[in-house]
């Protein structure tokens, strides 16, 4: 019996038995042609490719993939006030969304209350304004926190928003170990590409590690970090750079947690990733597959991970906002559909589809609904969920997967040579690489070497008017009044004492999460917690990389 025959026999005799019952149901195409759960050829099924749910997870993190359960449709929402965002959440949940993803405004992201001079002009503009526990409770009013998965796109203030979530859950009678969701909490990519940092890199890494350690013991169903390539891709990096820089950051976080004394097999299964789905369809599919294979191998080789759960890379995907155009915005629906399909064929665990009007403003309700419907059509009508990793083994896909991995490993080796992700970030290595890639891309567009429909080809003279969502500038004054009322009502002595205790602990090495939780439950605001931490940690002032 050949190796190929042996493998085919294994699949026939064993694989189907490992699938959940709902994944074994017979399915067929619209013409009635039966579709098997998994297609394999002996020639293509080697150790590098593997099988779905098995090391190195190239073909997917779980054996049954979408045959067992589709990806989570998690639309990113947040604007103006907690009450308005709550209404949008209810709107989307009522129409089939399965998870909530919160967008916060810039003051919240950077740790400033809405009445801070540094918040002027930004309150509620790119997300919801959250400063107090009352705000957070309003955000999830009427939404059972133990029944819905919650993702929060927050980084510098991630520990504070997680504390709000735990405190709000307690008020609902929900235990921390019942909470499901993801905290972005990825500070390294902020220094590389996004810029919503508050503290210097080293204390920021301490906060990230504190959250990982806290969730490992208190919130076992919650992902304490979403290691994010998305924002680096939005800043202009290539697919290979997105792979290398994201995984390098992930390795740095794992190293910090291991140095803290955590067992890699106990916490690495809670780590999640966040990737961009860009326009180059087959390259994007290959990128996702390469990411799984690389992460599994790196965790095994560098940290001695043994459990599948620790080596299994799970990721959320968002379609590429940087590809959306203000010209002919309805064409963005086509771009988003192709990008979403690439994410699904690449095996994403959850997905956000951008709205057609996001190059103009925050999305309207109608645009957000159409973006959700795009995912639902892919899931329910396209047939792509019928087979596990349907592109696996295709010569183009496997060749691209190999080449992306090779290019990413070369970049990883360069980062290692420079002392790892943190040292390379402080040196500006990743930043320079991204700036060069973004420059080269823009030059190609301007020269007409890259075609962007509606921008440098197939242009029209007149654009149709389109409704856009506008945020009332009076919101800032309203929010300032609300936070002043909150401060007046709370127990000032208890709040002051909790903040003082937090500052004292921040000067040492103890995990800060319990003390941040004490502070927010005593009424401290996001700005007050961050001001106290800044007093100890200092404020980051990035050096020029040019």
Beta strands in 16-126, from DSSP E residues, in sequence order: 27-28, 34-35, 72-73, 76-77, 99-103
Mean pLDDT on 388-392: 95
Mean pLDDT (the chain) is 91
Q: What is the pLDDT of residue 77?
A: 77
Could you give the CA distance from residue 167 to residue 174 in angstroms, rounded to a whole number?
9
Number of other residues whose CB lies within 10 A of the CB of residue 470: 8
Percentage of the chain modeled with pLDDT above 70: 92
User: Where is 17: in which H helix or E strand?
Assistant: helix 16-18
How does residue 14 score in pLDDT terms, banded at 50, 70 and 90? very low
318-363 tens-digit pLDDT: 999 999 999 999 999 999 999 999 999 999 999 999 999 999 887 8
Percentage of the chain modeled with pLDDT above 90: 80
How does residue 3 score in pLDDT terms, banded at 50, 70 and 90? very low
Q: What is the pLDDT of residue 17?
A: 31
The one-character DSSP state at 358 is T
Q: Count H helices and E strands in the chain, helices first.
A: 23, 12
Range among 91-105, 203-217, 463-477 rated most confident = 203-217
Cβ neighbours for 271, distance < 8 A, ≥ 6 positions apart = 212, 223, 224, 225, 227, 250, 253, 254
Locate 261 and state its tokens: 């004394």
User: Where is 264: in which H helix or E strand?
Assistant: helix 264-267
Cβ neighbours for 82, distance < 8 A, ≥ 6 positions apart = 128, 129, 130, 135, 136, 138, 139
Q: What pTM did the predictor assign?
A: 0.91
106: helix, strand or coil:
helix
Query: CA of 218: how far to CAs of 211, 212, 491, in Å?
Result: 10, 10, 27
541: helix, strand or coil:
coil
Q: What is the pLDDT of residue 11?
A: 32
Locate all alpha helices (DSSP H) within 122-229, ordered by sequence.
133-139, 158-172, 188-189, 201-218
Residue 6 reports pLDDT greater than 90: no
Residue 80 reports pLDDT greater than 60: yes
Q: What is the pLDDT of residue 23?
A: 58
Cβ neighbours for 496, distance < 8 A, ≥ 6 positions apart = none
Could you give the CA distance from residue 390 to residue 304 in angstroms, rounded to a whole number?
31
Locate 486 and state its tokens: 């909150």
Mean pLDDT on 9-33: 56
Locate all alpha helices (DSSP H) within 50-189, ordered by sequence.
65-68, 82-93, 106-110, 133-139, 158-172, 188-189
Name the nearest CA neighbour of 210 among 169, 262, 277: 262
Cβ–Cβ under 8 Å, residues 232 and 434: yes
Pairing of strands 350-352, 72-73: parallel
Quick one: fold of 65-446?
A: TIM Barrel (3.20.20)
Could you give the CA distance from residue 30 to residue 36 in angstroms, rounded to a whole number?
14
Pairing of strands 76-77, 99-103: parallel
How does residue 42 score in pLDDT terms, banded at 50, 70 and 90? low
Backbone phi and psi for residue 227, each to the nearest 5 degrees, phi listed first: -75, 115
Could you give the CA distance from residue 219 to residue 270 in angstroms, rounded to a whole number?
10
The domain locations on the chain are: 65-446, 478-537
């Amino acid at each position: 019996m050949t190796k190929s025959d042996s493998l085919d026999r294994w699949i026939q005799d064993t694989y189907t038995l490992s699938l959940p019952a709902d994944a074994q149901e017979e399915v067929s195409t619209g013409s009635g042609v039966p579709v098997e759960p998994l297609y394999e050829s002996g020639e293509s099924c080697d150790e590098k490719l593997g099988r779905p749910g098995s090391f190195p997870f190239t073909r997917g993190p779980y054996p049954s993939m979408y045959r067992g359960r589709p990806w989570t449709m998690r639309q990113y929402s947040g604007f103006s006030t907690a009450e308005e965002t709550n209404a949008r959440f209810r709107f989307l949940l009522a129409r089939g969304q399965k998870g909530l993803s919160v967008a916060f405004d810039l003051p919240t992201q950077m740790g400033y209350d809405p009445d801070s001079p540094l918040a002027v002009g930004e309150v509620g503009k790119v997300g919801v304004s959250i400063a107090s526990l009352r705000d957070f409770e309003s955000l999830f009013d009427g939404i059972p926190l133990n029944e819905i998965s919650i993702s929060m796109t927050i980084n510098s203030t991630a520990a504070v928003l997680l504390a709000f979530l735990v405190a709000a859950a307690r008020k609902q009678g929900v235990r921390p170990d019942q909470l499901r969701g993801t905290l972005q909490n990825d500070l390294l990519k902020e220094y590389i590409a996004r810029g919503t940092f508050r503290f210097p890199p080293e204390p920021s890494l301490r906060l990230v590690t504190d959250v990982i350690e806290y969730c490992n013991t208190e919130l076992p169903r919650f992902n304490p970090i979403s290691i994010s390539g998305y924002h680096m891709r939005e800043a202009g990096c290539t697919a290979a750079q997105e792979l290398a820089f994201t995984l390098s950051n992930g390795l740095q976080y794992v190293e910090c947690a291991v140095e803290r004394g955590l067992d890699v097999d106990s916490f690495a299964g809670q780590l999640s990733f966040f990737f961009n789905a860009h326009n180059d369809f087959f390259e994007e599919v290959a990128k996702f597959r390469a990411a799984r294979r690389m992460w599994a191998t790196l965790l095994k080789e560098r940290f001695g991970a043994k459990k599948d759960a620790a080596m299994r890379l799970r990721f959320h995907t968002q379609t590429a906002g940087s590809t959306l155009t203000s010209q002919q915005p309805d064409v963005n629906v086509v771009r988003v559909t192709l990008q979403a399909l690439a994410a699904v064929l690449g095996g994403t665990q959850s997905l956000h589809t951008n709205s057609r009007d996001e190059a103009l403003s925050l999305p309207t309700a109608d645009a957000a609904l159409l973006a959700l419907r795009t995912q639902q059509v892919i899931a329910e009508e396209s047939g792509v969920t019928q087979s596990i990793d349907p592109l696996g083994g295709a010569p183009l896909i496997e060749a691209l997967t190999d080449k992306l991995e090779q290019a990413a490993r070369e970049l990883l080796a360069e980062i290692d040579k420079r002392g790892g992700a943190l040292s390379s970030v402080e040196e500006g290595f990743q930043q320079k690489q991204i700036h060069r890639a973004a420059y080269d891309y823009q030059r190609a567009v301007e020269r007409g070497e890259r075609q962007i429909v509606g921008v440098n080809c197939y242009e029209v003279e007149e654009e149709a008017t389109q409704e856009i969502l506008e945020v009332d500038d009076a919101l800032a004054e309203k929010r300032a009044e609300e936070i002043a009322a909150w401060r007046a009502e709370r127990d000032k002595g208890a709040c002051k004492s909790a903040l003082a205790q937090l500052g004292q602990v921040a000067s040492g090495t103890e995990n800060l999460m319990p003390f941040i939780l004490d502070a927010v439950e005593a009424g401290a605001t996001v700005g007050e917690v961050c001001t106290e931490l800044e007093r100890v940690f200092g404020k980051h002032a990035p050096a020029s990389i040019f």
